[in-house]
């Protein structure tokens, strides 16, 4: 397990128990406490409200028991608050009614993450001893994949360009014995003109990264992630306030990589493909311009209405590659539009699909693992907002309406053969710390996709 997460240990001998309590269970829990502990809880005004913590001493004055209030149980990631709140030491979740120990353990791990690349970050974290029956290895794999994705998002663009995105995927491929192909240079210019066009503004060479794993005859699942190492907006340059956070514009790639890592780590029965177009959208004399017209990989010509709508351009070529083999399931992840954030806020990624049954399965998988999303419509009549007078389509609509939907409709044009296609428009960032979700880079929808795929293509 990496340094960025709290340790999971097996031996629970002297671990301090954490007793989770709800308003319903509190009276009986309180009644069963040793009298001095019950008195201490009362004296310190403990109540079973969401996130409340009481550190109860034993007769010898040492920490003997932790009370943790769950409130109405609405926030299932609440135990993720604990690693940041408890003193160093080893703890374990005591069995309690209505508490899913595996979920609490995952919340703990996700909440223990800190970004430590540039300085030692804070004090020693408490360790967690595994509860009987909880698959610690499976949970650690998931938390590790999330932590690595968060590290990628948090790493500033001076240390994370297209090369480093490739290196991160190479490392995951090596760990799981996956194959990797990378297209750059003249080959990229010929075969992925939109990726080349966007990425040519930067001295840090653009590339198309293509990982495959698993038996060729298994169901085909392809994940595509937007890998914009930094988004200045290009010649349609962003104002500084909008550019400030744009190191996170590879948050889609981070989510796709994390999902792929989880899928391969769990050995699911599928043939996985992970495609990441990796670029920097920079400003230079080599930069593409508003009004340029480019023939995409799919053959459609695209007029550039705005160089800041670069994500859909690089995804278009990546989706065309994916679509050529018409996979059984195609999922793309992207920090694609500000409009999706305006509609749903930072914590709730939008998703789009034409397949109602698949949409239901996506929503359910998100609920099951507390990685929630919300569906928005692929409203076909809005496709005309992307009409161009000189090319097959424009990369933006002229007006202020339905920006997340028109972006999704743009993408759909490039994967016509694939029926089961899910597009996630995500934010990739926690604006402030919440339980299990430390402020900074966030990996959204990867656990959802892992849950969805685990249900559809379980390990043989």
* 339 contact, one of ligand BES, Zn ion, Mn ion, none, CB 5-8 Å limit per kind: ligand BES
Tell the smallest beta-carbon distance from residue 306 to Mn ion (Å): 8
Q: Which two tokens stand for residue 238?
A: 């962003």
Tell the smallest beta-carbon distance from residue 311 to Zn ion (Å): 4
x-marked contacts with Zn ion along 306-325 as a string, rule CB under 5 A: -----x--------------
Strand 271-281 and strand 227-231: pairing? Answer: parallel
What contacts 24+ positions apart, CB below 8 Å, involve 47-54?
48/21, 48/22, 48/23, 50/74, 50/75, 50/78, 51/78, 51/81, 51/435, 53/81, 53/82, 53/85, 53/86
Q: Which residue has the tokens 């938390």?
A: 143
- When the beta carbons of 116 and 338 are compared against ligand BES, the nearer one is 338
Tell the smallest beta-carbon distance from residue 336 to Zn ion (Å): 7
For residues 1 and 454, what is the distance between their CA atoms, to the nearest angstrom?
Answer: 23
Chain residues that interact with ligand BES, rule: CB under 6 A: 231, 249, 306, 308-311, 335-339, 341, 396, 403, 427
- When the beta carbons of 73 and 431 are compared against Zn ion, the nearer one is 431
Tell the smallest beta-carbon distance from residue 402 to Mn ion (Å): 17
Q: Scanning residues 223 to 262, which ones bind Mn ion (CB under 5 A)?
A: 231
- When the beta carbons of 280 and 308 are compared against Mn ion, the nearer one is 308
User: What is the dihedral sign for C-alpha 407, 411, 412, 413?
Assistant: positive
- Cβ(195)–Cβ(277) below 8 Å: yes
| Among the listed residues 144, 151, 249, 303, the single contact to Zn ion using CB under 5 A | 249
- By CB under 5 A, how many residues form the interface with Zn ion? 4
Structural Rg of the chain based on CA atoms: 24
* 403 contact, one of Zn ion, Mn ion, ligand BES, none, CB 5-8 Å limit per kind: ligand BES
Q: Which two tokens stand for residue 207?
A: 């590339």
Going by C-alpha positions, the residue among 273, 167, 221, 240 that lies closest to residue 418 is 221
Q: Which two tokens stand for residue 126?
A: 């408490």
Q: Which two tokens stand for residue 32?
A: 């069963």
For residues 43 and 56, what is the distance between their CA atoms, to the nearest angstrom?
Answer: 11
Segment near Mn ion (CB under 5 A), from 93-101, 111-119, 306-314, 359-367? 306-314
- When the beta carbons of 39 and 293 are compared against ligand BES, the nearer one is 293
For residue 370, the Cα-to-chain-centroid distance in whole angstroms is 12
Question: Is 280 a residue that touches Mn ion (CB under 5 A)?
Answer: no
Question: Is 308 a residue that touches Mn ion (CB under 5 A)?
Answer: yes
Segment near Mn ion (CB under 5 A), from 146-154, 212-220, 302-310, 395-403? 302-310
Tell the smallest beta-carbon distance from residue 72 to ligand BES (Å): 31
For residues 279 and 55, what is the distance between their CA atoms, to the nearest angstrom?
Answer: 49
Residue nearest to Mn ion (CB): 308
Has 204 been annotated as catalytic? Answer: no
Question: Is 280 a residue that touches Zn ion (CB under 5 A)?
Answer: no
- Cβ(271)–Cβ(215) below 8 Å: yes
CA torsion 366→368→369→370, rounded to 10°? 70
From the candidates 271, 312, 341, 437, give the one annotated as an active-site residue.
312
* 454 contact, one of Zn ion, ligand BES, Mn ion, none, CB 5-8 Å limit per kind: none
CB atoms within 10 A of CB 318: 29
Strand 271-281 and strand 207-213: pairing? Answer: antiparallel
From the candidates 49, 52, 170, 238, give the one annotated as an active-site residue.
238
- When the beta carbons of 19 and 335 are compared against ligand BES, the nearer one is 335
- When the beta carbons of 212 and 306 are compared against Mn ion, the nearer one is 306
Q: What angle do CA 129, 5, 121 make, to 5 degrees?
A: 130
Has 312 been annotated as catalytic? Answer: yes
Segment near Zn ion (CB under 5 A), from 31-39, 76-84, 226-234, 402-410? 226-234
For residues 460 and 457, what is the distance between their CA atoms, to the nearest angstrom?
Answer: 8
Tell the smallest beta-carbon distance from residue 310 to ligand BES (Å): 5
Tell the smallest beta-carbon distance from residue 152 to ligand BES (Å): 16
Q: What angle do CA 406, 308, 394 make, to 5 degrees?
A: 45
**Burial class of residue 308 (count of CB atoms within 10 Å of its CB; 0-12, 13-18, 19+):** buried
- When the beta carbons of 80 and 251 are compared against ligand BES, the nearer one is 251
- When the beta carbons of 180 and 245 are compared against Mn ion, the nearer one is 245
- Cβ(5)–Cβ(76) below 8 Å: no
Strand 220-225 and strand 271-281: pairing? Answer: parallel
* 341 contact, one of ligand BES, Zn ion, Mn ion, none, CB 5-8 Å limit per kind: ligand BES
Tell the smallest beta-carbon distance from residue 255 to Mn ion (Å): 17
For residues 315 and 337, what is the distance between their CA atoms, to the nearest angstrom?
Answer: 13
* DSSP symbol at 434: B
Contact residues: Mn ion, CB under 5 A: 231, 308, 310
Contact residues: Zn ion, CB under 5 A: 228, 231, 249, 311
Which active-site residues does the annotation give?
A: 238, 312
């Amino acid at each position: 397990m990496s340094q960025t997460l709290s340790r999971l240990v097996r031996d629970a001998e002297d671990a301090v128990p954490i007793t989770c309590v709800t308003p319903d269970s509190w009276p009986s829990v309180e009644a069963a406490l040793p009298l001095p502990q019950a008195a201490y809880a009362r004296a310190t005004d403990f109540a079973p409200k969401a996130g409340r913590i009481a550190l109860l001493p034993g007769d010898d004055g040492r920490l003997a028991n932790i009370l943790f209030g769950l409130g109405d149980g609405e926030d299932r990631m609440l135990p993720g608050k604990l690693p940041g709140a408890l003193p160093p030491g080893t703890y374990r979740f005591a069995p309690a009614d209505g508490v899913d120990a595996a979920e609490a353990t995952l919340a703990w791990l996700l909440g223990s993450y800190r970004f430590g690349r540039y300085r030692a970050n804070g004090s020693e974290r408490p360790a967690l001893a595994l509860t009987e029956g909880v698959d610690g290895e499976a949970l650690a794999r998931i938390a590790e994949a999330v932590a690595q994705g968060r590290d990628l998002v948090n790493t500033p663009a001076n240390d994370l360009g297209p090369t480093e995105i490739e290196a991160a995927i190479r490392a995951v491929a090596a760990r799981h014995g996956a194959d990797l192909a990378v297209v750059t240079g003249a080959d990229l210019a010929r075969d992925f003109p939109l990726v080349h066009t966007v990425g040519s503004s930067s001295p840090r060479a653009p590339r198309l990264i293509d990982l495959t794993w698993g038996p060729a005859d298994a169901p085909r699942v392809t994940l595509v992630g937007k890998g914009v190492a930094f988004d200045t907006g290009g010649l349609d340059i962003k104002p500084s306030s909008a550019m400030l956070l744009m190191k996170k514009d590879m948050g889609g790639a981070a989510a796709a990589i994390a999902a792929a890592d989880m899928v391969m780590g769990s050995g699911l029965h599928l043939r996985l493909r992970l495609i990441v177009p990796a670029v920097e959208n920079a400003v230079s004399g080599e930069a593409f311009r508003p009004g340029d017209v480019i023939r995409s990989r799919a053959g459609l010509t695209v007029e550039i209405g705005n160089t800041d709508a670069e994500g859909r351009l690089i995804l278009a070529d990546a989706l065309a590659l994916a679509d050529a083999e018409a996979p059984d399931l195609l999922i793309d992840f992207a920090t694609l539009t500000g409009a999706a954030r305006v509609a749903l806020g930072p914590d709730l990624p939008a998703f789009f699909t034409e397949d109602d049954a698949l949409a239901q399965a996506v929503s359910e998988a998100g609920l099951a693992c507390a990685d929630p999303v919300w569906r928005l419509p692929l409203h076909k009549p809005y496709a005309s907002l992307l009409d161009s007078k000189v090319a097959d389509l424009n990369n933006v609509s002229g007006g202020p309406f339905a920006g997340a939907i028109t972006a999704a409709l743009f993408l759909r044009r490039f994967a016509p053969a694939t029926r089961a296609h899910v597009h996630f428009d995500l934010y990739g960032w926690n604006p402030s710390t919440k339980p299990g979700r430390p402020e900074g880079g966030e990996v959204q929808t990867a656990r959802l996709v892992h849950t969805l795929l685990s249900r559809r293509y379980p390990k043989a």
